Structure 1
Amino acid sequence: MRHIKPSSLGVSLQVFLPLLWKGITSQVIYFPGYSIQVSPSVSVQEGLCVTIPCTFTADGRKTFTNSFGYWKQLPVSSDYIVATNDKSSEVKKTNFNLTGNPNTGDCTLTITGARKEDEGDYYFRFDENKNSNVKYNYQPPTTITVSESHPYPSTGITSQVIYPPGYSIQVSRNVSVQEGLCVTIPCTFTADYRNTFTNSFGYWMWRTNNSDYIVATNDKSSEVKKTNFNLTGNPNSGDCTLTITGARKEDEGEYYFRFVESKDSKMKYNYQPPTTITVPVSPSIPTTEDRNACSLDFSFIIGMVIGNIVALILIYVGSYFCLRRHMEKRQLEKGPPDQGTQVTESTYEELKGQRNDIYYNFKAQ
């Protein structure tokens, strides 16, 4: 049997199929049992703090013992760790902290005092332990952007508010936090020229058209209207820092800080102007499911089927033309017929018909 060389059609097929495959695989394919839930992009104002909730599974599990988690930055070298619970590893950023516990499948990251140079792409890596083979880099990365900070109102006389002597506050005038994320808003104040007190109370108030409501306080006897607002600063040390967890669209509005030195004191003050909080819609968090097969997009499966069908059609067409060319070449190699013999030139179809006639004549005899 003569070996037939691959035609140019076969070369085209080899080029076409990888392009088709590349166009279909638009999503990340996770290994079975490995998944992560974390926002693909996070925006934080310069100087503020943000907590990025993150959960993961590895090898089909979310509970481990003596495990290690690492947040790393791209595209620098693989040893560029910015946050980890591995005490033996050096971290490159002191304001990044792995506040989640990898032993419980928690990879939550907290950034304090965000800086412009903190912008970039970051991914989470998990090691079950130093001797385990369960090690995984989760993709795609989370993109962090740091927007410009709105200036604090200055102490004393500002362009909008005249403070009484000895009363001042430093807090961002406008804060933007993505829906579902957490943010810490640094805040410091003075009252009666002081920033140290005893048994004092702080209240973050929500200004509405109808009334003002308490949303966060250290006063246990007061009712709060929002459970995701927390006064994390200590008013006794002039700290009015506010933390918002799991920001919601309905959290948008104007908020101001109120200080009361003690229940019996006449020193009570509402600091103005208020801080305006906006909650833009968060990019959808990609979810992956633990299955015995890779998590594939439905369009990927459809694309595989279409690709196989196209490949079969191209192979069939290529085989047909190759066979036809091969038959024509053999016919030409036989050369002209001998003298005295009159043979009509036949195409492939005529030769096939003549062969069938001979067969039936022989059978009739």
Structure 2
Amino acid sequence: MKIKRSKYHLSYYHILIYIISQLWSGTDSEALPGYSINAPRSVTVQRGLCVFIPCSFTVPEKERLTRSAKGIWYNKDDEPVTSRRNSQYENNERFFLLGDVWRGDCSLYIEDPIYKDEGHYRFRVEDNIKFTYLDIKPYVKVTDLTDKPEISPIKSWIDGATVTLSCTSPGTCVRRTPKITWTGDIQNRRQANSLNNNEDGTKTHVSTITFTARKEQNNSTLSCTVQLKGGLTTVQQITMKVEYPPRAPEIKCSINTKEPNIPSSRGCTMDANTIIYPPDESQLSLICSADSVPKSSLVWKSSTGTLNSSFTGKLIFTNLLLTDDGIYTCQATNPHGSKETSVTIKITWLGNLLDIGASSETLDITKMSHSFRLKFGNAVRLGSSSKKEEEDLQTITGTKLMKAAHISG
């Protein structure tokens, strides 16, 4: 009998060792009927933010938990970081056991994690039974803060429109309230902060600004900065797009003459009435531009109709003729409006094709079959000073005589 008792005693000892090994080896405590835990095996959280680890556990049915059941979470150093018995908490202000332990809820919440928090965590329940779950020991990985605030909506606005933008802080923390600030070329703005409660008990922090869009803000930057505990900051920046109709087009000109003694810039300066006096047979370029967003299409028009349409706004006369005299209009158009500016071209005669010579020389226009130019200062004597002959001379030259040429009878 003594031997049998010794054998039984040895068997009990082996069973006890087996149970202890299962509890602490982390292999599979499912071998103990009724004890199980369900939680993610690993989670990742950024510094300054927070993480929610959903967790549930069971005990054997005969070991029904009471409302006094206590749950405890331990870190990798076997130090308790948070516990809860009914509604009483014990924590270090960054770890929280959120669930009702007696209901089998072991959900863990961590705020403002630091690098030394990284590691495995294990859960233990204490009531009429005491048991540590090792099947799943969630591993918490702590990384650098990389998430940025979210600014919305991101789109284009019209000059003068009322704009409302929201900046949402990264993370959904329960107890921490981040500081949210806006930076940019925003005048007379109204700012409000709000707190949204989420279904899982966490909170989302939002800052909203309202202002009037101005065309001067186009392509300027607007930033939202979120400052977290410990001086950690994260910034989101957008480029503002403000659209507006075209302003009155601006017209510039350049000229290239064929006369070697005439400066290339001569005749290209517009006077107060936007009149240009270019030499005939020169090349004149008119360049039209208009400030607008989006970019305007530019159309050149004259009394004869539309000349060209493009985004470059260039109108080039390769060889000016007297018949090119007239008013030219540049019209700028985009989806928000249209503006136009006009310029007048008046051709100036320079040089001569027909050098008449002495002022007393008589020119018989009835024998001329080509057009000509008059040299400055030449006097032209018409064989007869009749109205009909003056009109014939004007017809031959292709335009009315310029004031620069003096005609004497």
TM-score normalised by the chain length of structure 2 = 0.34
Instruction: Say which structure is richer in strand.
Output: 2
Instruction: Say which structure is richer in helix.
Output: 1
Larger Rg: 2
For CA contacts below 8 A with separation 6 or more, give which structure has more relative contact order. 1
TM-score normalised by the chain length of structure 1 = 0.38
